[in-house]
Chains A and B, each alone.
Chain A
């Protein structure tokens, strides 16, 4: 597993602290980040692949600085958003996966690799379908396929099941938790969080609890009720 190290990393914007200086070392395979809306969960996740730059401290992924070596970090760390619509930028499913593979494979190999990825995610029959014609679950699955096609070491999923129905929530959740990659899962789904190896509870821009899944989830539920 990759070693993700927060060294006093924090983010302030407009005089407001989004995430206070944070010290963390993440080595576990499945890490959940839970907490209320606006607590700083997404900011913490976005710091890991350089989507958000720390205003203090630094974040390192296997020793690579997410600011100075951002491109290298992003090759190792894939990111999946809550709303897949913004993430899908090509007209059809196979073309969107091909876009991810542009820098990895020569042109002649891309189409076959993209089709194989779609097959893996149960989207083979949707290859030439418009991304706008997909259901919400299929879109999220395609967004994940686009991320995983380049075989990152770490996958960050920022509330990937929030817009999905129960069946798709389970399907995407099971898929994420079965990945061989290291997973950082930002979620409001406490059942999913409880299946992770480590859970961070974020509140008011700080990691308030950090520990085993059951204890952390219980602590969070207790703090809310």
Chain B
């Protein structure tokens, strides 16, 4: 299984986290994300990362899958850390790097142990009371579900566009980025049409 195929994909299992209710898991991710931002310092970042790793172990995510996910995320995290080093110093850079890896681990653990459809049901339950203010719970939940799914879909488009540019001998970033952005927008439009055709959101 490639990294692309494992992104955001639920794997049925019997671990403690698989059996845990969806609501607390989602809330836990939200709280952990806030804590990562609020609690400062490299020591706390290391502790958070260890906590994230422990949860991944509890969820029984194969080590190879974790490493693949972190490898892809590491590129982004290193870029952010380099920027932080330049603007705020080494300590802040290390903290940012570790925090981003922790967030990636937590996201991977949640998606590995929780079906997106179960997350949608939970969102709908949470948001339904807002219906009196005109909020369409199904539509909001679907948007969240689509956001989760859009990551691997967008990466697929990025890889296809990069290969197409290479095949034509084009190396400039513009030759890659322009068609990529156009394809992402076109795919979003196609997805909207397909959802409409399936009667989802009617």
Contact = CB atoms under 8 A, between A and B. Distances in A.
A91 B149 contact: yes
Given A87-B194, A87-B198, A102 B9 contact: no
A70 B6 CA distance: 37
Contacts of B193: 51, 86
A99 B7 CA distance: 19
A86 B5 contact: no
A103 B8 CA distance: 24
A81 interface: yes
A51 B196 contact: yes
Interface in B144-202: 145-146, 148-149, 152-153, 156, 187, 190-191, 193-200, 202
B121 to A, nearest CB: 6
A109 to B, nearest CB: 13
Contacts, number: 97
Interface size class of A (residues with CB under 8 A): 20 to 34
A117 to B, nearest CB: 14
A130 B9 contact: yes
A132 B194 CA distance: 17
A70 B202 contact: yes
Nearest to B138: A102
Contact of B121 (A89, A103, A107, A150): A107
Contact of B9 (A49, A92, A110): A92
Contacts of B85: none
Contacts of B191: 86, 89
Contacts of B153: 85, 132
A79 interface: yes
A128 B146 CA distance: 18
A89 B199 contact: no
Contact of B197 (A79, A99, A107): A79
Given A81-B194, A92-B9, 6 more contacts: A71-B202, A74-B197, A86-B190, A87-B198, A89-B146, A132-B156
24 contacts: A49-B197, A51-B197, A74-B198, A74-B202, A81-B190, A81-B194, A87-B194, A89-B145, A89-B191, A89-B195, A90-B117, A92-B9, A92-B115, A95-B116, A100-B198, A102-B138, A102-B200, A103-B199, A103-B200, A128-B12, A130-B1, A130-B152, A132-B4, A146-B198
